Structure 1
Amino acid sequence: MSAAAWQETAAAAQAELKSKIPKDWLLPEAILSSKPRNVIPIFRSCGLLTGRELEITEVEDCVALLEQLHSRKWSALEVTVAFCKRAAIAQQLINPLMNIDFEGARKRAMDLDDHLNKQGKVVGPLHGLPISFKDLTDVKGMKITLGFVALADHVSETDAVAVQSLREAGAIVYCKTTMPQTGMALETISNLWGRTLNPFNTDLSSGGSSGGEGALNGCHGAPIGIATDIGGSIRAPASFNGLYGIRPTSRRFSYKGNAMGFTGQAAILSSIGPIGRSLRDIELILKVWNAFEPWNYDPVVAPIKWQPAPVPTKATIGVMYWDEVVMPHPPMQRAVQMVVDKLKAAGHEIIDFKPYRHREAWDLTFKHYYPTAGSNVKEFIERTGEPVIPAVAKYFDRAKMLDVHELTQLFKDQRQYQTEYLAHWIATKTQTSTGKPIDALLTPSMASASFPHDYLPWWGYLSQWNLLDYPCVILPVTSVKPEDTKDSLYTPVNPLDQETYDMYDPEKFADIPVCVQLVGRNLQEEQLVAVAMAVDEAIKQ
């Protein structure tokens, strides 16, 4: 395909998407031509959303929204229309969508309202709840492109297991969101759909690969969204947009029906999880998925029933202030210290946790991500001749084709590292007052609160836990402040650290949310969520 041809394909796809936005939901050119870096205030000032629609879309969280729906104070139709309209506005401001089904969503909402009115009961626990889904998740009748021009017209024939279970619980699908070309990037940009912007600061990344979910949910264009994570793709977008999110153990919930069945390797498995406005919303989605008994549909899923754990009044939490590879920026350091101080004030026990060979872990991880030097994804790019996006091009330059011997050794190295890291975690029992290992580990979510477009950041704070397959939760804490000035006395310890240090300027990062990460043990999502609730409660004090 010629350059002109792939550009025509991309232009046609974008035009088709825009045509699905009702004309009376279009923003005036005067607003679009003079957007501030922080576009959040525009949702209220543009005049397209009524007072009722603002109330609906800015409700506390899904649990509160569902209370209104199930009590019939709000109909499924008016809730759906409100979020469709807000998503349409978001699309014009920050470009988070790659497929729209507003009409299908309206019909589904009317059917749910009719059922509730006639039967007097809801279809399920998510009755009437609009949910957005990432591009790479199969949603029957909607596009799935993975950001490749070659897949511009590819439509899913079935629902992913995660989608099927949420629909049966009463959820409404109304849109799908953008991801970067290939998915292996922490910024969301593709030749097919363009660049997705951070609503708090459009000069910076919304995260990746689930950047569309992060951006859409960050500006309340969705009550909750479903994302995936093989190297930080749930956690970076949640963190950059001030949201809660969980990257579960890869075998805990069904990934069947995502990424069209290819990832290029099987040593580090992707997992699926929600991004939203509260931990109780996160837990709600996990409970619905688990109640569906996904192990009856997907042989990889561990057949473990959800057993809620009590929220501890005194948790023992390890703190890793940095990974000894890249020093976090000042606002990230401040956020971790804020959480530590509040946890201590709330009576929780804090233990210093020393990182264990995190730079070596990244070297292992990167080889696993590209064992064929990216040949599986290069094929899709070469079909149309579209250019490779900058971040992915840099990874391709570093990737090496592994032979069978090298791959076998890599598997051994990974298992050995997992074994050693577990022992390192268990050894914390010698530091705790309980004589037991730490309940969870608090870390920066990343070295930076976001990053400039087309920059290649340090993934280690995120990918570390994919290599180990430990579940992680993202918790909002604060935002970048003018007083978060650069530490002029700090001396970077390596070139990566120097790059990250040089990148920071509080003015450049203005208004960006700042989050922390809480890490738990493999397949112990209930315990992690319970500890996260205790931490979140302390943060809010």
Structure 2
Amino acid sequence: MASPEPPYVAVAQRKQAELAASIPSQWKLPANLIPPGMLTPAESITEGSKLYGRVNVMNIPRTCGLLTSKELEITEQYDVRELVLAMTENKFKAKEVVEAFCKRAAISHQLTRCLTEPLFDRALSRAQQLDDHLQRTGSPIGPLHGLPVSVKDSFFVKGVDSSIGFSALAFKPASENAPLIDLLESLGAIVIAKTNVPQTLATLDSCNHLFGRTLNPLNRQWTAGGSTGGEGVLVAMRGTMVGFGTDIGGSVRIPAMCQGIYSFKPSDGRVPYGGQESGQIPGKGRMGIQAVAGPLARSVADLGAVMAEIVPRAELFDEGCIPGYWPAPSVPVALAQPRHFTIGILKTDGLVTPLPPIARVLDEVSQLLRRTPGVHVVDIPTPPAFSKCQAAAGRLMGIDDGSSVMDIIESMGESLMPWHQGGRFGRGKALTVVQLAALQAQRADIEREMLKMWTLGISRERKVDAIICPVAPHPVPELDRYNAVGYTSSFVLLDYPAGTVPVRKFAESDLDIGREMDEPVLGSWDKANRKLWDEKSTDRRVYLESPLSVQVVTPKQRDYELFQAMEIIDRAVQGTQAEARTTSKL
């Protein structure tokens, strides 16, 4: 006699049917345009790594015929400020802008499973309200009037689930908005969808039993990243103008790396974080390590456009936010007098040696910056305390016994996702108050030692404005193979703002076929990382055309300086790429 299905199966089927029904029939792709191998949500978890081939679906929204020429113009030809201006000057109605992005989001979902809660009907209704107000008064509603945005599934939206991939939390809609949602709506932005996350919000592959696995649109063999993976995909596919996620171990920076877009992890208190479902015990973040919320976008300018409106107002919306200042946009940095900016190059955390292509792209950016007027480049010796950051961050993430999340999983008969298996997640033993205090004291010691990175250890005067380092010690990996998170989690531990800037694609010249790394193995994390480059266990050609990015970091609360540094670095990179494109046409 066959054993009965676990309870989560029926809930997942009901939830997926609800999601499918929220997409209008006229927005649905013909079956022949969906590449073969688009597995069911359940199959995507267990069979995905075996059956997904190298498929790029980025161009399908543009060529499928569902989007009109005007909708393609709206979703492809404007940055944030230009699009808002077009609506406030009546070139476009907010409703037609929102509809274009909702339709493109629906198409993107059918190719990648990036959405959890499409909010299309309420978004279109809100857009009509904005149009009516503008026509009646002649004034927009806020500085982001009509801007289509999306948010990670964890954020509460009144009347909508925040299931975060758990069947036990499905069909339990929120009773109120998260502070970030209220702030965005007060600015005139319109939330069009919520997006997929990993089971437990604690892996680097956005995969769960309720919605299945979110796929990377650049190549379905690669991870889309996590835990803000659905946002990364939706932003990359132009299904939203700006996405908002959270970051405790790298969860806005890693998906940006995986999709070749931009992200901004602010300091604690800059962007409203409250009003979220985590599955954890309430208040855990105030005792352990403090996650933050931040945006993902397709340009540094778009990150700056939303941060400029959020940061000065955040303290009025969330009890965890602090007073903030963000200069109003005036003269573009590209046209302004060059500011002397010192950028440090931090090549390794001393724990996991970056693989050759990661070291190479860091060197390339370093050389570009050395040729940039107004920029002084220095090499940063790896602080001894850096190698301690990952372990401290990991322990602070796991200060409880894990029973809250495990109870949710087990209550519906769910199994752990592939990345969690093998002892990576489960029930443990909570720290005592004495143990937690000792761990926080260790954190303070690390923070104190890391301050020397900004003074080069030679004075009490800050010598370095920003540093660049890897986002990860490896390229975008295959499904369930993401390795060390120390390069991202460390800066949450330290509360340093950090962002992701894409540089270029992985090329044939990066393969180094027949050449292995000869540096000494530093430990278990380093050993695991090298398996992603070892030709005996990995076909390096899987990385071809994957995005290569760098991480930009500034000292605590220096968020606007992070934006400035990202602009400088991105301009240097984009200038070189433009020159390369021109040369290739000659």
TM-score, normalised with respect to structure 1:
0.94
482-491 or 113-122: bigger deviation: 482-491
How far 1:488 moved relative to its partner? 2.2
Which residue is 1:461 aligned to? 487
Superposed CA offset, 1:116-171 (max 9, x none)? 22222211111111110100011122210122111011211211111111101111
1:277 alignment partner AA: R
1:19 to 2:21 alignment: yes
Which residue is 1:471 aligned to? 497
Which residue is 2:566 aligned to? 532
1:169 alignment partner AA: L
Which residue is 1:511 aligned to? 545
2:105 alignment partner AA: A
1:391 to 2:419 alignment: yes
Superposed CA offset, 1:47-68 (max 9, x none)? 1112211111112421222222
Q: 1:362 to 1:385 in 2, by over 3 A?
A: same
1:153 alignment partner AA: F
RMSD, aligned CA: 2.2
Which residue is 1:87 aligned to? 105
Which residue is 1:403 aligned to? 432
Whole-angstrom distance in 1 between the partners of 2:264 and 2:91: 30
DSSP 3-state at the match of 1:503: coil
Which residue is 1:286 aligned to? 307
1:530 alignment partner AA: Q
DSSP 3-state at the match of 1:250: coil
Q: 1:108 to 1:349 in 2, by over 3 A?
A: same
How far 1:284 moved relative to its partner? 1.9
Which residue is 2:358 aligned to? 332
On the 8 A contact 1:457/1:500 being kept in 2, the answer is yes
- Residues 293-304 of structure 1 aligned to structure 2 (within 5 Å): 294-304=314-324
Which residue is 1:247 aligned to? 265
Whole-angstrom distance in 1 between the partners of 2:468 and 2:440: 28
Q: 1:369 to 1:316 in 2, by over 3 A?
A: same
1:538 alignment partner AA: A
On the 8 A contact 2:144/2:189 being kept in 1, the answer is yes
On the 8 A contact 1:127/1:169 being kept in 2, the answer is yes
Q: Of 406, 419, 429, which residue of structure 1 is paired with 2:448?
A: 419
485-494 or 143-152: bigger deviation: 485-494
Whole-angstrom distance in 2 between the partners of 1:15 and 1:196: 17
Whole-angstrom distance in 2 between the partners of 1:263 and 1:197: 32
How far 1:492 moved relative to its partner? 5.1
DSSP 3-state at the match of 2:508: coil
Superposed CA offset, 1:489-510 (max 9, x none)? 4345133223322224442123
Superposed CA offset, 1:53-94 (max 9, x none)? 111111242122222222221211111111111111111101
How far 1:31 moved relative to its partner? 2.0
1:516 alignment partner AA: V
1:15 alignment partner AA: A
DSSP 3-state at the match of 1:158: coil
2:304 alignment partner AA: E
Q: Of 148, 155, 160, which residue of structure 2 is paired with 1:142?
A: 160
Superposed CA offset, 1:315-370 (max 9, x none)? 10111112222222333223212211111111311111122233322111111111
1:134 alignment partner AA: K
Q: 1:314 to 1:506 in 2, by over 3 A?
A: farther
Q: Of 87, 108, 125, which residue of structure 1 is paired with 2:126?
A: 108
483-492 or 153-162: bigger deviation: 483-492
2:406 alignment partner AA: K
Superposed CA offset, 1:243-284 (max 9, x none)? 111111112222121236747443311101110012221122
On the 8 A contact 2:402/2:426 being kept in 1, the answer is no
Q: 1:329 to 1:20 in 2, by over 3 A?
A: same
- Runs of 5+ unmatched residues, structure 1: none
On the 8 A contact 2:499/2:551 being kept in 1, the answer is yes
Whole-angstrom distance in 1 between the partners of 2:17 and 2:393: 38
1:144 alignment partner AA: S
Q: Of 287, 305, 308, which residue of structure 1 is paired with 2:325?
A: 305
TM-score, normalised with respect to structure 2:
0.87
On the 8 A contact 1:140/1:155 being kept in 2, the answer is yes
Q: Of 378, 382, 387, which residue of structure 2 is paired with 1:351?
A: 378
Whole-angstrom distance in 2 between the partners of 1:208 and 1:449: 15
Whole-angstrom distance in 2 between the partners of 1:368 and 1:63: 39
On the 8 A contact 2:497/2:554 being kept in 1, the answer is yes
Whole-angstrom distance in 2 between the partners of 1:440 and 1:429: 17
DSSP 3-state at the match of 1:396: coil
1:270 to 2:291 alignment: yes
Q: 1:466 to 1:26 in 2, by over 3 A?
A: same
Which residue is 2:187 aligned to? 169
On the 8 A contact 2:502/2:550 being kept in 1, the answer is yes
- Runs of 5+ unmatched residues, structure 2: 38-53, 534-538, 576-586
Whole-angstrom distance in 1 between the partners of 2:178 and 2:246: 13
How far 1:9 moved relative to its partner? 0.5
On the 8 A contact 2:178/2:276 being kept in 1, the answer is yes
Q: 1:402 to 1:129 in 2, by over 3 A?
A: same
DSSP 3-state at the match of 1:518: strand
491-500 or 97-106: bigger deviation: 491-500
2:434 alignment partner AA: H
1:284 alignment partner AA: A
1:482 to 2:508 alignment: yes
- Residues 189-200 of structure 1 aligned to structure 2 (within 5 Å): 189-200=207-218
Whole-angstrom distance in 2 between the partners of 1:341 and 1:191: 45
How far 1:308 moved relative to its partner? 6.0
On the 8 A contact 1:2/1:385 being kept in 2, the answer is no
- Residues 491-510 of structure 1 aligned to structure 2 (within 5 Å): 491=519, 493=521, 494-504=523-533, 505-510=539-544
Whole-angstrom distance in 1 between the partners of 2:61 and 2:544: 19
Whole-angstrom distance in 2 between the partners of 1:340 and 1:2: 59
DSSP 3-state at the match of 1:340: helix
| Percent pairwise identity | 34
Whole-angstrom distance in 2 between the partners of 1:395 and 1:191: 18
DSSP 3-state at the match of 1:291: coil
1:184 to 2:202 alignment: yes
How far 1:380 moved relative to its partner? 1.3
Equivalent residue pairs, number: 537
Whole-angstrom distance in 1 between the partners of 2:311 and 2:339: 26
Whole-angstrom distance in 2 between the partners of 1:319 and 1:57: 36
Whole-angstrom distance in 2 between the partners of 1:241 and 1:262: 32
Superposed CA offset, 1:461-491 (max 9, x none)? 1001011111001111111112211442434
Q: 1:254 to 1:352 in 2, by over 3 A?
A: same
Which residue is 2:46 aligned to? none
Whole-angstrom distance in 2 between the partners of 1:97 and 1:269: 26
Superposed CA offset, 1:297-325 (max 9, x none)? 43322223334699553310111112222
Q: 1:449 to 1:259 in 2, by over 3 A?
A: farther
DSSP 3-state at the match of 1:316: strand
Q: Of 238, 244, 259, which residue of structure 2 is paired with 1:220?
A: 238
On the 8 A contact 1:253/1:271 being kept in 2, the answer is yes
